[in-house]
Amino acid sequence: MVIKGSDIARQMEKNLRQEVTRLKERKIMPTAAIVRVGENPSCIVYGRSAEKKLEAVGISVRRVAFPGDIAQGAFMEEFKKINNDPEIHGILLLRPLPLHLDEKAISAEVNPLKDVDAISPMNMYKVMAGDITAFSPCTPEAVIDIIDYLGIGLEGKKVAIMGASMVVGLPLFLLMLNRNATCVQCHIHTKDLAKECGDAEIVVVAAGKRGLIRSEHIAPRAIVIDVGINVGEDGRLYGDVSFEEVVLKAGYITPVPGGVGAVTSAVLASHVVKAAKMLYAV
Ligand code: NAD
């Protein structure tokens, strides 16, 4: 069965719209700042798309743009104001930042309670500790939401994760562990992928390698979640899973495009709402 991310996102957005309406009735206006430095085209595109998604559920967006040559000190000063502004509940810092800026130092400055994109090291610690105030990175949380949507309990499930990056694979491992799954984390140095994921009930692929997972890698009726995004020579988007053959063997599978990506945007919006609710303890 092919899992449509857009169906899941639509349901999440419907619930979020209701939550935002309830907050507005209490005079709380959930607000996100989208912060951009310079004119990086991918940041501009992603910023616009995030803005549309947030506004679609009623979240107010403040666009903050700085010149590409802003000095570290000056940026930190300005960033502090956004961090401390009580009317801003969530901060999305568009990356990559210009090379002269110290991205690690800036990420560490983000107020963890406004860190809706989960770039602050404190949030990673909170995810590890299973702290309910944590913001998990949006994509791994989207994977968990998809599995929840299917009504499949994670407790005791064997999960194989392809990829171990700080953005997807590693935080996903922690989220799975928090839900009492038994996980195997595979990466570029893993010797035998088929052996590691061949008996997994859930296989999540986030390696950025088109066609990495084929039908011989998965157990019959496994749940296959494809996070990968690869641009083919034809300009189309492809996942990391060889969809045409794996769909015939899997129990559930997410397509690319139209799978995890759609849910990821809804998760970002849910984080802004969560941040506003945490601030006012409602
Ligand atoms: P990354 O390059 O930072 O990490 C890739 C990981 O995959 C590494 O841990 C690496 O060891 C592992 N890997 C690479 N080749 C492998 C192989 N042959 N076998 C096993 N493991 C291998 O990438 P990332 O930021 O984690 O992103 C992974 C993919 O997910 C990319 O295609 C990216 O575009 C996509 N992505 C999608 C979304 C979304 O919302 N759908 C969000 C973020 C990333």
Tens-digit pLDDT profile for residues 218-244? 999 999 999 999 999 999 999 999 999
Average pLDDT for 199-205 = 98
> What's the pTM value of the predicted model, to 2 decimals?
0.94
Average pLDDT for 259-274 = 96
> What pLDDT does residue 119 have?
96
The residue contributing the CA closest to ligand 1 atom 19 is 188
Average pLDDT, the chain: 96
How crowded is residue 162: how many other Cβ atoms within 10 Å of its Cβ?
Answer: 30
Tens-digit pLDDT profile for residues 139-195? 999 999 999 999 999 999 999 999 999 999 999 999 999 999 999 999 999 999 999
Pocket of ligand 1 (CB under 6 A): 139, 162-165, 167-169, 186-188, 190, 193, 206-209, 212, 227-230, 260-261, 264
228 C-alpha vs ligand 1 centroid, how far in Å? 6
The residue contributing the CA closest to ligand 1 atom 30 is 228
> What pLDDT does residue 70 have?
98
What percent of the chain has a predicted confidence (pLDDT) above 70? 100
3-state secondary structure the chain: CECCHHHHHHHHHHHHHHHHHHHHHCCCCCEEEEEEECCCHHHHHHHHHHHHHHHHCCCEEEEEEECCCCCHHHHHHHHHHHHHCCCCCEEEECCCCCCCCCHHHHHHHCCHHHCCCCCCHHHHHHHHHCCCCCCCCHHHHHHHHHHHHCCCCCCCCEEEEECCCCCCHHHHHHHHHHCCCEEEEECCCCCCHHHHHCCCCEEEECCCCCCCECHHHCCCCCEEEECCCEECCCCCEECCECHHHHCCCCCEECCCCCCHHHHHHHHHHHHHHHHHHHHHCC
Atom of ligand 1 nearest to the CA of 187: 21
Average pLDDT for 207-214 = 97
> What pLDDT does residue 26 have?
96
Nearest Cα neighbor of 50 from 32, 29, 27 is: 32
Average pLDDT for 260-270 = 95
What percent of the chain has a predicted confidence (pLDDT) above 90? 99
229 C-alpha vs ligand 1 centroid, how far in Å? 8
Tens-digit pLDDT profile for residues 106-139? 999 999 999 999 999 999 999 999 899 999 999 9
> What pLDDT does residue 195 have?
95
Distances (CA, A) of 255 to 224, 225, 260: 10, 8, 8
The residue contributing the CA closest to ligand 1 atom 5 is 207
Atom of ligand 1 nearest to the CA of 212: 18
